[in-house]
Each structure stands twice: as C-alpha cells, then as structure tokens.
Chains A and B, each alone.
Chain A
Amino acid sequence: MIEITEKQKGLIEKVRGISEKFALRVREVDETSEFPWDILEVFRENHILDLPIPGKFKGGDEGSLTCCLVLEEIARFSPSFAHMLAGHWLGFTPLKLFCNSFQREKYFPRLRSEMAAFSLTEPAAGSDAAGVITEAKRDGDNYILNGTKNYCTQGHVANVITVFAKTKGDKGVKGLSAFIVEKEFPGFSVGKIEDQMGMRGTPAAELVLQDCLVPKQNLLGKEGDGFNIAMQTLDRTRPKDAAISVGIAQGALDCTIDYVKKGFFMKEPLLKSQGVQFLLADMAITIEAARLLVYESATLIDEKRVSSKHSAMAKCFATDTAMRVTDQAIDILGADGVSEEHPVEMFMRDAKLLQILEGTNQIQRLIISRSLLG
C-alpha cells in the first residue's frame, strides 16, 4: 500500500489552493494559445517549479511520486498548466540523470526559475528515434548542430533544452548524442509554433539549428549515449503524463457529478438515471485503477527500481482513461458538455495529446509486450 505522507498531503493542499484559481485563466489561455507567463510566475514563487531539483541546489528535492501528486492536483482544473510543469520537469530529467558536476553547478540553479525542454522528435523521427537526421559535428572546442527538431513542448519559451542529434553518421540510435542547448547559443532559433487541438497554452514548437554552436562541455554523457539518455528519461517521465491524465479524468468526473446532482434527464433528475449512475461508476473505477498505476510506477522510480513496463502501463492506461472518461462526461452533459461554458470539452482535447506525446500508446504497448515476451 502506498502511503501519502503528511508532507505530501500538505503540499497537495497548498497546490489545490493555488490551482482552483486557475480554472478561469486556463480557458483564456486555451482560446488565445498564448504562453501563460503569469502562471509560470506562480509556480516559481510557490516553489513548485523547482520541486525535483536537488536540495543541494536549493530545489524542492522531491521524488517522482510527489511530482505526480502535484501534477494530478493541478490537472483537475487546468491540464495545460500541469503540462507546463511536466514539460519543464521532462527537460530537467536528462540533466538530473546524466549531468557531470560542472554541468550540474552551471544549470541546476538556473532551472529553479528558468524553463527546460526536451527535444528528440523530428519530422521523420516520431516513434522511431533512429530517424533523427539532425547532425552534430565536432569542431575544436565546440559541436556544430544542424537540423530541425519539431513538436518540442514549449520549446519556444525554454531557456535550456536537451537536444538529441547524430554524432556518428548512419549508426541508427547508437549514433545519437544529447546536448544541453541554450536559447542564446548562436545558430539557435524557434520556428513554427503549433496551433494544436489541446494543451493550447503550452504548445509544441519547432526548433531550428543552423550551424548552432554548442560548447563541447555541453555534451551530456558521452557521444553515442543519446538513445539511452532518452529512454532512461522517458521511463521516469511517463508516470507524470499519466498523473496529468488522472487529474484530467478526475476533474471531468467532478464536473459530471456536480452536473448530475443538478440536472435532469427525460424530465427526471439525472441522478435517478441508472444509465448515468453506472457510467459514473465505470468512470470512477478506471480513474482509481489508473491512479494506482501512477502511484506504483512513480514509487518504483523513487525506490530506484525503475520499471519501463510499469511506466509504460501507467502512461498507456491513464491517458486512455482520460480520453474515455472525458468522452463519457460529455455524453452525460450532452449539449452542455460540448459547450465552452463547461471545461469537459477542453479536457477531452487536452487528453488526446497525452495519448500521443512521449511515445504514442502504440509504443507503450510495444514496450509492455517486449517485457512480457522477453
């Protein structure tokens, strides 16, 4: 049984106090698709942004489970703002795992307040990281990066980005290396910012690397470590996407319960409809099951027993659950469910992204079945 500590409970209380106020703002952000700097500031001030940063660097020094609890709580009202945090933490994870002491001293303090991002995907490399064609060529004390990365979550606002590029010609994923790239490095620019269906406040961006000059000290790990760095990172961040999904699903269920208590169906109170009662029960069952998978996979990470299978199961099941539950919530709310006056339609759009990012749910199934079949 996974115990939530008093400290974690206190943190959740604090986060709830902050995030309930986000509900109106998140709708605005959904409409304009403008990055909510004000919300980032709230996360900074309240030391939520720095939660996973080690205590030595004056961060929150918290593990995966705590981060998941926080994301779940925020996502109940504003999935996109939880996605902002998760994006930052995704960007920080490869650094946390693979930085040498020089890199740690240089970047960890900065990432308490500046945004990080993670950039693996390219037009030809979605599910298949071997498709990366961005190249990094050693030139004296620098690497010179050339190529275009895409779908980098909030790559347009991040200051520090882990960029994956090929250092060894045609050797598939074995030729991948990871670099810490700063926004200010010469040759780095932000291309197209995506107009996407959900998580609109925290969109994906294209990153253009044109003879981008990266000091050799910014190579993460060794040349050729890139694929391993990416996979180790994703094993640790997938439960966070799952946690956001649980939050979305819980938020949708909360809205639905609220609605059912007041609404009517065929001239009878909605809550008397057994069809609706059973739907609510189904929603609650899957949410709870997803939540337990999140807690389990996050706890395994905190106990240094990281399981690719469990992280993949949590991500796949929780994101599918968020999709199904938001869909069911709209079915109950009917025309009100598809109206912008209620958040469930936005939740459904947000949920759809989570089924795809950080490895589509097809890739998660691949990881799970591989581990089953050995």
Chain B
Amino acid sequence: MQFELTDTQKDIQKAAREFAEKEFDTDLALELEKGCKFPRSIFEKACQLGFIGIDYPEEYGGQSFGLFENILIIEEFTRKDSGIGISLSLADIASNIIIKHGDESQKKNFLIPVTQGKAISTVALIDSFHEKKQEPIITKAEAYPDGYVINRGKAWVIHGSLASIIILLCETLNPTKPIALIVESDWEGVNILGLKKMMGMRISSIHEIAFDKVKVPKDHVIQWGNAGTDPLTTYRHVHRTKTSAQALGIAQGALDHAVKHAKEREQFGRKICQFQGIQFMLAELYTLVEAARSLVYRAAYSYDIGSSELEKISSVARLFATDVAVKVTIDSIQIHGGVGLMKEYSIERMLRDAKTIQNLEETNLNQKALIAKKIIL
C-alpha cells in the first residue's frame, strides 16, 4: 500500500497549481459570478495545456491518465478558486460515459472537440430534480426505425446553455429500460429555458432544457452491453468522486485562507494564531481535510482499478468531503471575522459553492441510504 503520489502525479498537481495561480483571479471570479458567466478563455487554455481530458485515451485527444490524475487537477483548481474550479471540472461531465461506453465514432466525435476547447459536454438526468417530488419520469424515448425519438421532457442541466453535447439519461417506452442518448444542442426540439439561481456555483449556470420531439439517430445511441455497468451508474460514480474532489479543494483552499489570516491578523497585541482557541480550530480543520483527501483519493483510485468497493467508497467520499467543505468554509469565515463575510473576499463564496455542490443532483441523505444498504446487505 502506497500513500505517496508518483513523480508524474506530483508534476501534474504542480502544473495544475501553477496554472490556477496564474490564471484564476478573485476579481474575475466575482465578475463571472455576478453575471453567471463561464470563464471560456480559461477553459480554452486549460484544454490547450491538457488539463481538460487528461483521462481520455490518447487517440481521442487525451493523455490516457485515470480519474485519479483528473481529480488531482480538480482539487488544485477549486483550491485556488471554488467557482472557477467547479465550472472547469464540470465542463466535460458526459465524457466518462463516452470513454467507458461509447463506440469508436462516438469517442472521436464527442471527446476530441472537448479537448480542443471547442465543445462542452453535459448530462441531462431526467429524474434527478424530480425524484423527490415523485413525479413520473415523463421523458421516454420511443424507438423508431432510425433510432429513438424523445417526445417530451425537461431536465435541469449543468452548463445547460453552453454545452453542445448532452447525454440524456432516460428510459425507453415499451419495454421500459434505461437508455443513454447523445443529443446535440443545436438539434430541433432542444430548447433552453430558464436559469436556476442557486446559493452558489453561479459560474456554472444551471438551465432547464426542454426536449420536444427530438429525433436521435442510431449512431448517437450509447450501447453498453459489455461494459458491466450502465451509463447512469458510471456517471454517478464519476460525478460523486469529482464532487468530492471539488469539495476537498474548497476545504483546502478555505483552510489555506484561514491559516494565512490567523498568521497575519493581530488582536490583543498578538497574532490570532497564537491563541489556542484558534489553534485548536485550525488543527481540527486540518485533520478533517486530510481525512477527506484520503477518501477522495481512494474513490478515484477505486474507479481506475475497477474495484468492487467503488459503489460504497464514492458515496462515502462524497458524503464526507462535502460535509467537510461546508464545515471548513463556515469555520474559515469565523476565523476571518467580519472580512470573511464580505463578497470582495472569496471565503463567503467558498461556503456558498460548497453548500451548493453538496446538494446538487444528489444529497448526503441519499449517500447515507446507499452506504447503509451496502453495509447491511
């Protein structure tokens, strides 16, 4: 068992850190957040440098690394800036489904443009936002001679107004079975509706997309007969792990800020880091961040080696790391005092971003239910 990153992994981490420090800027992030805008030029640079798509096979524009190397980058990005980091890490969320389940032409057509910075890919999960209301899954794909037609459906979609590639995860009609369809956003019947305003994550806007009689040709249907898992499960595992990596980065970033502030700020004639009350807070936060890191790394590693632990560990990592991110950001604001509350500093935004990713798509109540099921069975 090894707990050290390899030299290559350290290089990747260092490169990601340097890129983030050079390109991400608090003022820019504030402006982007105000306008709910995506940092397109930073995304393009990140693609050029190979940060986006690092885990794609080489023949499709990637570097054939694993999810592990990908989450090292996510961690460094969100550590420097929660909002920009999250938005970049969510710019290709459909890709892992295509890598794992897509055929050769799908990989060629839908992975390469992303690595070139020309396309953003996303996932439309029909039931995620509606599940809690127990609305029937209204989107059904009906077979027709050349593929499927989606008669009607709506979903809240991350980067919904930007993505040109949308993987729609829904069910077929007669017989009912899950299906994954690649939909291109410029097709007839794909309509982008309103923006969902959230507490945080505003640099990665979420739009509602309506699908109305959208015809999906056969070559856009994802088959998964031999992959073992289905696309939805793959998406869940990867997305949970990436979410936990975002949370880890935010937690580390908030801790960095707290330590820096505690070492600079003077009250009662000394640095506040010299007060044991603050020291114990910092020690506790550091412990939580380290524990979260171990879990997040283990989840990514489990995905890369195809471990049977993945289902459980990806939930555990998401549960723990997102809770840690919320806790650390809350306490980091506390250590900052008044300045921590002000928008011109990043700390309050880190809390809003952490709380939002913790509750988007899935909740930690979901994770607890899933983990319990796994333990009991």
Contact = CB atoms under 8 A, between A and B. Distances in A.
Q: Interface residues of B toward A: which range?
A: 35 or more
A263 B278 CA distance: 41
A335 B341 contact: no
Interface in A177-235: 194-198, 204
B364 A331 contact: yes
B65 to A, nearest CB: 31
B133 A194 contact: no
A194 B340 CA distance: 12
B352 interface: yes
Given A335-B129, A339-B198, A273 B341 contact: no
B365 A349 contact: no
Contacts of B28: none
Contacts of B196: 339
A362 interface: yes
B369 A338 contact: no
A352 B197 contact: no
Given A195-B342, A263-B133, A362-B278, A338 B330 contact: no
Given A130-B268, A352-B351, A360 B337 contact: yes
A373 interface: no
Interface stretch (A50-58, A95-103, A120-128, A132-140): A120-128
Interface centre among A197, A267, A345 (most CB of B within 10 A): A197
Given A275-B368, A275-B369, A331-B359, A197 B343 contact: yes
Contacts of A126: 267, 337-338
Contacts of B361: 335
B369 A197 contact: no
B200 interface: yes
Nearest to A365: B277
Contacts of A276: 365
Question: How many A residues touch the partner, as a band?
Answer: 35 or more
Interface string B342-366: 1110001001100110111111111
B177 interface: no
B341 A196 contact: yes
Nearest to A276: B365
A338 B356 contact: yes
A353 B132 CA distance: 31
A83 to B, nearest CB: 13
A327 B355 CA distance: 8
A352 B369 CA distance: 29
Contact of A352 (B333, B344, B356, B360): B333
Interface in A330-358: 330-340, 345, 348-349, 352-353, 355-357
A266 B369 contact: yes
A198 B341 contact: yes
Nearest to B365: A275
B199 interface: yes
B134 interface: yes
Contact of B131 (A150, A197, A264, A339): A264
Nearest to B349: A197
Contact of A338 (B131, B341, B355, B368): B355
Contact of A330 (B338, B340, B359): B359
Interface string A232-243: 000000000000
B278 to A, nearest CB: 7
Interface in B308-346: 326, 330, 333-334, 337-338, 340-344
Interface string A107-147: 00000000000000100101110110000000000000000
12 contacts: A121-B338, A126-B338, A194-B341, A198-B341, A263-B133, A276-B365, A330-B359, A339-B196, A345-B355, A348-B199, A348-B355, A353-B341
Closest 8 CB pairs of A and B: A197-B348, A345-B199, A334-B363, A128-B267, A264-B134, A195-B343, A338-B199, A340-B197
